Amino acid sequence: MKSMHPFVKILLFIFTLLLMSYMSNAYLLPMSLILFVYATWLARSDFLRVVRRMKWLFISIFIIYAFGTPGEYIQHIPVSVAPTVEGCVLGVMQIAKLLIALAVLSILFATSSKEQLMIGLHLLLSPLNLLGLNTNKFTARLLLTLDYVEELAAKEKFKFRFDQLDNMLSTTELVNKDRVIVLESIPFKWNDVLVVMILILGAIALFYFRESYFRVLF
């Protein structure tokens, strides 16, 4: 995946998030497990640190779904309020979806440099030039902002404050006047073209099945 074009990697990330809404529970759990293991292998420290920081969010999601979803109550629980089977299943599925998103994002960052991601994002947003959006300026500002965030995070005893958002904007404005940003063009390989074609066919198939589903309902 490291040799894949960053534009294709971003498309894969978007398609994976889209695919999750169509997958059944029987496929979500194996998919989350596989991506969890792969992301841990590629970026063990960074990925596991993010997962640990989100543990309370996972616990909160599970509790909300377990106790707030109507269904069959779990028997033999020594409390007056019991979770439901359906709620526990929904809670686990939502946590699995979040883990998939985090894993794919970690894989994207682990296999691409910051400059490569900017190249892929620039290509992805290039059609917006027809609507008047200056994608070159937007990409440059985003890259400068990421550089500034990395410099802040590297400082000792760094603590985020909301007033740093204003400083970030003014700092990137000043740096933008003196710095020249060059994004080298990365050629597409045959496997990149093949993956893009598969993603296009997959998106068409998902759209078709969704339309068929709504036609059955209505």
Query: What's the token pair of residue 117?
Result: 């991601």
pLDDT in tens, 79-97: 667 788 899 999 999 999 9
pLDDT in tens, 46-90: 888 888 888 999 999 999 999 888 888 887 776 667 788 899 999
Mean predicted confidence (pLDDT) in 101-105: 90
Tell me what pLDDT residue 203 has: 83
Domain spans of the chain? 1-112, 113-187
35/20 Cα distance (integer angstroms): 13
Unique residue bearing structure tokens 């985020």 = 160
10/199 Cα distance (integer angstroms): 11
DSSP string, 68-128: HS-SPBPSS-SSSS--BHHHHHHHHHHHHHHHHHHHHHHHHHHSS-HHHHHHHHHHHHGGG
Q: Is the pLDDT of residue 161 over 70?
A: no
Q: Which of 24-28, 32-36, 200-204 has the highest mean pLDDT?
A: 32-36
- Greater model confidence, 34 or 182: 34
Query: What's the token pair of residue 45?
Result: 């420290």
pLDDT grade, residue 218 (50/70/90)?
very low
61/160 Cα distance (integer angstroms): 26
Percent of the chain scored above 70 by pLDDT? 74
